[in-house]
Amino acid sequence: MPRIPFRSALCAGRVLAVVAALGALPGSLKAADGNSLGELVDSTKFRVCSDPDNLPYSNKAGEGFENKIAELLAGKLERDVTYTWYPSTIGFVRNTLGARVCDVVIGVPATNELMQNTNPYYRSTYAFIQRADTDHVVDSLDDPALKEMRIGGVANTPPVTLLARRGLIGNLAPYHLVADTRYDHPAAQMIEDVASGAIDIAVVWGPIGGYYAKQADGALRVTPIKADEGSPVRMDYLISMGLRRGEPIWKDQLNQLLREEKDAIQAILLDYGVPLLDNQGNPILPKEQQQGGMVPEPDGYRMADFRAPVPATLDGADVLTTEQLQTLVKAEAPLLIDVMPAPRKPKDTGLWIAPKRDNIPGSHWLANTGYGELSAEFADFFEDELARLTEGDPSRRLVFYCEADCWMSWNAAKRALALGYDNVAWYPAGSDGWKAAGLPLESAEPAPMPDFLPLTDGSNRTAGLQTLARLAD
């Protein structure tokens, strides 16, 4: 959508005229449904701006993953999906969102400047596509084997740019960057050329490569491309939804839906072969590729990479959903133990601002007690605090948490079981899940900590301190 020409609108009257003409002035004329013209024209429909022939994203038959996501969200809003079709080429935004004939583009880069963005709802990456029967699997742009390969790639995309810098321009079989999808599908052609042997390997945006590779019934292999260390050129990107500017209510509504339907959306994307990354850049595997359909419990404590997918179980403890925790809090007032890391007060310092964070009301914040291996001082601190809070009653109900995908709460709950507490629960969704459910949080400070590092001098030390720095930032 074109930006309002404020520089040329030098007088207030002209500014108001321009804004009103675009229908973006809060409190101006009302539409028939009661919304201001700055919000949706028709809030009874879920009006999608989409490409009519651009799989795996969308097509008129509703076969793309963006079609499925649109249907999911429309169902939650109890609205029918309607489409404005326009090819993904020059003029797409102007003739769809800009013309106010539709209200949302299901997938756009989170840094898109032509539209307002929702919060990102998935993260994907460029990938290598090879035949599954290949003798050598390439997973890095620095693999020497690439020098002997015919490489398919779309000009001016990040991996092709980096391959050119490595002197491999002569190995590249170029495919078009911008295509009118009514006539040309260069990425699909590239994958077909890998399967036929016309080229040895393709470097392509993961959602496209993963989808077409999946159609090959196991004949093709998808390998996410590792990031180029120290390079400003990145391989992975966050994807959001695109809206018109000046529509905050619509944006908030979609952001809430994206939070609530995160798991369902992720399942759709994985089913289409989209390579997904978590917040730490680790691959998110489909459940059928995980052991037993879930992350397995380790024999001991988790010792590193504390922000990663967690198990669905904890032997000896109850695992609570948000709804179950709500019921428990109302019924028996359990002891809520937050173990989110936090910096300690440095010795011999003057000015010190204690760390704060928003946690579940009534919680006790025992920071830094969820590492895999604690220093003696922090192990004693954890044991003493639990004894104090429970008044020495090992049957007192304890609920441990931090944030979503945080192994520290799993470790802490397991540690409490080892100390003899027999009524332990673990809330893996943490403060993130509580907030996503629309439940209140309150500002908190950690309990006073020992004047020692929380970790031993073992191998857990470096990874633990890095996690502490990142989570406490």
Per-residue pLDDT, averaged over 199-207, amounts to: 95
Per-residue pLDDT, averaged over 165-181, amounts to: 80
| Residue 252's pLDDT band (cuts 50, 70, 90) | very high
Cα separation, 260 vs 437, whole angstroms:
8
Per-residue pLDDT, averaged over 338-367, amounts to: 81
User: Which residues lie closer than 8 Å to 248 by C-beta, 6 or more apart?
Assistant: none
* Lowest mean pLDDT, pick from 67-76, 80-89, 176-185, 458-467: 458-467
pLDDT, residue 454, reads 75
- 225 in Cβ contact with 137 (< 8 Å): no
Q: How far is CA 407 from CA 71, 308, 404, in A?
A: 34, 7, 9
* Lowest mean pLDDT, pick from 22-31, 337-346, 422-431: 22-31
Q: Which of 282, 396, 270, 263 is nearest to 322 (CA)?
A: 263
Give residue-wise pLDDT tens across range 217-242.
778 999 998 776 667 888 999 999 99
Asked whether residue 8 carries a pLDDT value surpassing 70, the answer given is: no
pLDDT, residue 310, reads 87
| Residue 306's pLDDT band (cuts 50, 70, 90) | confident
- 394 in Cβ contact with 367 (< 8 Å): no
* Lowest mean pLDDT, pick from 35-44, 50-59, 308-317: 35-44
Give residue-wise pLDDT tens across range 429-471.
999 889 888 899 999 989 998 877 776 644 444 444 444 444 4
Binning the chain into helix, strand and coil, the percentages to the nearest 5 are 30, 20, 50
Q: What is the DSSP string of 361-418?
A: TT-EE-TT--SSSB-HHHHHHHHHHHHHHHTT-TTS-EEEE-STTBHHHHHHHHHHHH
| Residue 347's pLDDT band (cuts 50, 70, 90) | low
pLDDT, residue 88, reads 87
Q: What percent of the chain has pLDDT over 90?
A: 59
Cα separation, 473 vs 469, whole angstroms:
6
Q: What is the DSSP string of 88-146?
A: SSTTHHHHTTTTTS--BEEEEETT-SSSEE----EEEEEEEEEETT-SS---STT-GGG
What pTM was estimated for this model as a whole?
A: 0.57
pLDDT, residue 319, reads 94
Strand partners, 54: 58
pLDDT, residue 23, reads 34
Cα separation, 445 vs 448, whole angstroms:
9
Q: How far is CA 423 from the centre of its chain?
A: 33
pLDDT, residue 182, reads 61
Give residue-wise pLDDT tens across range 12-52.
332 223 223 333 333 332 333 434 434 788 889 999 999 99
pLDDT, residue 14, reads 27
Asked whether residue 5 carries a pLDDT value surpassing 50, the answer given is: no
Q: Highest-confidence range of 35-39, 241-245, 288-292, by mean pLDDT?
A: 241-245
Q: Which of 34, 15, 38, 13 is nearest to 25 (CA)?
A: 38
* Lowest mean pLDDT, pick from 183-192, 270-279, 448-457: 448-457
**Amino acid identity, residue 63?**
E
* Lowest mean pLDDT, pick from 6-15, 166-175, 267-276: 6-15
Q: What is the mean pLDDT of the chain?
A: 83
Q: What percent of the chain has pLDDT over 70?
A: 81
- 138 in Cβ contact with 270 (< 8 Å): no
